[in-house]
Amino acid sequence: MTRILAIVVLLFSHWTLAAGPVYIGLDAEFGHKTSTSAQAVQQGMQIAIDEINQAGGVLGGRKLQLVIKDNRSVTAIAVDNLRELARMPDMVAVFGGKFSPVYIECVPLAHELGMLLMDPWGSADPITDHNYRPSYTFRLSLKDAWAGPAFVRFAKQRYKANRLGVLLPNTAWGRSNQAAIEKAAASMGLSLVGRRWYNWGDTSLAAQYAELRKAGAQAIILVANEAEGAILVREVAALPKEQRLPIISHWGVTGGDFARMAGEALQQVDFSVIQTFSFVGRDTPAARRVLTALRNNYGATEADRVKSPVGVAHAYDLTHLLARAINKAGSTDRRKIRDALEQIGSYDGLVRRYSKPFTAGRHDALSAENVFFARYTADDRLIPVDSRSRP
């Protein structure tokens, strides 16, 4: 009898363990005071997780559960958080936020630990373009190699600009964009009249802007997040109208409270920003589901009122793709899930229809075809520039 009871207890314990949650980590810049990107990624992930769990979970009934860490956009904290998350049993992958330097710093450790590093926002090329094999980094986001040509093409087509100035942060993200923009300008026959650098936390970009304008720039390509982007917009708006050049911006500004920080100055400057997704005009089953969840759970009243929409959409699709890989792998073994991600078939997502999102040689699920430009309205709505500027 004792032996039978022991067997029953053992079987029950095994069933309980098997039915435990499968964990997905999110380590992002929640403590960054002007950030909306981390919250957007969390929302997209949680909406997808809720859908997956309501449909039965993964691995025959196990629920997905989100574990959140705050790296405050500090790379050293992100490295510590990645180590801590990797020690958790059944932690299958860690998502990040918007800061490319954080991802780049974590890439070596992710491969040392065999931890899947999932990127729903960071755009620097080295996040997925590296020599680690097999690669444990997977991105569903913009890539600077696509942003560079898009910036240059937009400047040429919209503003007839042949001479461009570039403002870049002194970071890995800035250097990634420098390479992409220089290559694109050379291939399209446009001149870069200057490249000016700034540091995070600088309180003025007026001198760099003035130097580029005096060098003959007809438009400015800006690589920035919300704080520095708002500073530049306010400084340009304060200039005489004839000295205000069009600004073509990277999307870091959309990952924070940029429009509020820029204020009325934003309507006095010709400012466009690169994007890969908008809920505006998107009438698909996935878009309707996600918008309903955003309204019910996060207070987003309209399609053009969603904060940091690319973060929501990318994280949503990437979470669904990860769940498919978990089921395909048949376990929480990260190596098997990594292999399964490269074998996923077609999936009708929120951002696009993926015929084969990842392969052994391509760990970027989007493409240059997903890139378009948008503008802010006076009441802080982010609207695609025109129907031709979006997929």
Report the CATH number that the domain containing residue 77 is assigned in CATH.
3.40.50.2300
**Is 379 contained in some domain?**
no
User: Does 149 lie in the same domain as 270?
Assistant: yes
User: Does 156 lie in the same domain as 37?
Assistant: no
354-366: buried (b, 16+ CB within 10 Å) or exposed (e) per residue? beebbeeeebbbb
Computed from CA positions of residues 274, 280, 285, 286, in that sequence, does the dihedral angle turn out positive or negative? positive
What's the CA gap between 28 and 48, in Å, rounded? Answer: 18
Q: List the alpha helices (DSSP H) in 194-308.
A: 206-214, 226-237, 258-262, 285-298
What are the pLDDT digits (tens) for 146-177?
999 999 999 999 999 999 999 999 999 999 99
Last residue of a domain, one of 227, 255, 275: 275
**Is 200 contained in some domain?**
yes
**Is 118 contained in some domain?**
yes
- Start-to-end CA distance of the chain, whole Å, equals 68
User: Does 161 lie in the same domain as 90?
Assistant: no
Give yes or no for a contact between 126 and 106, defined as CB atoms under 8 angstroms apart.
no
Last residue of a domain, one of 254, 275, 296: 275
User: Does 258 lie in the same domain as 320?
Assistant: no
Q: What confidence score (pLDDT) does residue 387 get?
A: 47
Identify the CA nearest to 327 among candidates 347, 349, 351, 312: 347
**Is 29 contained in some domain?**
yes
User: Does 196 lie in the same domain as 307?
Assistant: no
70 forms beta bridges with 28
User: Does 203 lie in the same domain as 325?
Assistant: no
**Is 52 contained in some domain?**
yes
pTM of the model: 0.93
Q: What confidence score (pLDDT) does residue 349 get?
A: 98
User: Does 264 lie in the same domain as 186?
Assistant: yes
**Is 318 contained in some domain?**
yes
What's the CA gap between 223 and 124, in Å, rounded? Answer: 11
What is the widest separation between alpha-carbon atoms in the chain? 92
**Is 290 contained in some domain?**
yes
Tokens 């919300």 -> residue: 226
What are the pLDDT digits (tens) for 328-346?
999 999 999 999 999 999 9
User: Does 119 lie in the same domain as 218?
Assistant: no
139 forms beta bridges with 119, 364
Which portions of the chain are predicted below pLDDT 70? 1-18, 386-391
| CA 133 to centroid of chain Cα atoms | 23
Q: What confidence score (pLDDT) does residue 286 get?
A: 97
| CA 151 to centroid of chain Cα atoms | 18
Structural domain containing residue 261: 145-275
Q: What confidence score (pLDDT) does residue 389 get?
A: 45
Coil, strand or helix at 373? strand
User: Does 304 lie in the same domain as 219?
Assistant: no
User: Does 249 lie in the same domain as 159?
Assistant: yes
Structural domains of the chain, count: 2
**Is 49 contained in some domain?**
yes
User: Does 98 lie in the same domain as 71?
Assistant: yes
User: Does 189 lie in the same domain as 89?
Assistant: no
166 forms beta bridges with 195, 221
Q: Where is 383: in which H helix or E strand?
A: strand 382-384
